[in-house]
């Protein structure tokens, strides 16, 4: 039971960091592109390293123990790319104009630029919905990781939390543009992050009665695929859009080093 509460707590923390992004937008005048670029790269490094080095092989071990070496190895690979396919399909279903990967800067919230526009409000609300849809499998990923391996769940949650900060800005800016209401912009941003703990709750209610080594192995391999795809499709391109390509790579390497050291400490 303690593990379940720990997993929910981590997932809630990661999800609500969209609210931090929104709060940053309201209390600072300018986007710190260097900080965001390094942070997003760091997050990608953590997620790629832990997925490929730790999660994938734990999933493979679990599945080969259940199904044998050959079939277990095949199922691991299929589940890994299945996770990628799931998140890619979610991406494809979201119209590009309302995709949460579109970058916004805090200085866009200048009152002189703001104008009331229903289209912008619609875009902001749909961006919040898109972020929510994206965060749902991330919530499940964090929750499953925390249940299976609490030692690797904390850096995963931190990485997803960092990734959620610019998404919070992406929701807040168009809603504020359209309404001039900071509270409403923060509310939609905060709300979009709640889908991560909801993803964890759905995972707990639907999957927990059936959990065994086979299900855990498939889920864990899928989680690895989801996190690698998010890193390559969202985090690194977002870091580049903020205009600091080399800093994002330095952040990526730093994230990998930190993740590697943290895993070595738990041996």
The residue length of the chain stands at 267
Cα-based angle 55, 224, 56 (whole degrees, multiple of 5): 35
Nearest-5° Cα angle at 57, 54 to 62: 120
User: What is the distance, to the nearest Å, from the Cα of residue 216 to the centroid of all Cα atoms in its chain?
Assistant: 20
Question: Distance between CA atoms of 34 and 133, rounded to whole angstroms?
Answer: 28
- The answer to whether 61 touches 259, Cβ cutoff 8 Å, is no
- Could you list the residues known to form a binding site for Fe(2+), using ranges: 135, 138, 164, 167, 196
Binding residue ranges: 135, 138, 163-164, 167, 196
Residue 111, CB half-sphere, CA atoms under 13 Å: how many? 3
- Cα distance between residue 156 and residue 48, in whole Å: 10
Neighbour tally for 7: CB within 10 Å: 24
Q: Which ranges in the chain belong to alpha helices (H)? A: 2-15, 17-27, 33-49, 56-67, 69-93, 118-148, 150-179, 182-193, 195-202, 213-230, 236-241, 245-265
Cα–Cα distance for residue pair 210/207, rounded to 1 Å: 6
Region of 262 (left: φ > 0; alpha: ψ -120 to 50; beta: rest) is alpha
């Amino acid at each position: 039971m303690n593990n379940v509460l720990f997993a929910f707590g981590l997932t809630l923390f990661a999800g609500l960091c969209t609210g931090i992004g929104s709060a940053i937008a309201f209390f600072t005048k300018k986007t710190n592109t260097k900080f965001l670029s390094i942070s997003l790269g760091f997050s990608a490094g953590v997620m790629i390293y832990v997925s490929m080095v730790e999660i994938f092989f734990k999933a493979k071990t679990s599945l080969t123990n259940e199904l044998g070496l050959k079939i277990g190895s095949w199922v691991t690979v299929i589940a890994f790319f299945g996770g990628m396919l799931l998140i890619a399909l979610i991406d494809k279903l979201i119209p590009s104009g309302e995709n949460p990967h579109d970058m916004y800067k805090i200085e866009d919230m200048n009152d002189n630029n703001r104008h009331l526009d229903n289209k912008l409000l619609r875009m902001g609300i749909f961006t919040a919905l898109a972020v929510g849809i994206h965060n749902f499998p991330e919530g499940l990923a964090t929750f499953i990781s925390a249940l299976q391996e609490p030692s690797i769940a904390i850096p995963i949650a931190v990485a997803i939390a960092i990734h959620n900060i610019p998404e919070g800005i992406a929701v807040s800016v168009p809603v504020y543009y359209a309404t001039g209401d900071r509270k409403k912009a923060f509310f939609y941003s905060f709300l979009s992050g709640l889908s991560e703990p909801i993803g964890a709750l759905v995972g707990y209610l639907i999957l927990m009665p059936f959990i065994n080594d086979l299900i855990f192995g498939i889920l864990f391999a899928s989680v690895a695929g989801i996190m690698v795809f998010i890193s390559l499709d969202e985090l690194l391109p977002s870091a580049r859009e903020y205009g600091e390509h080399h800093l994002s790579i330095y952040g990526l390497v730093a994230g990998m080093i930190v993740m590697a050291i943290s895993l070595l400490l738990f041996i």
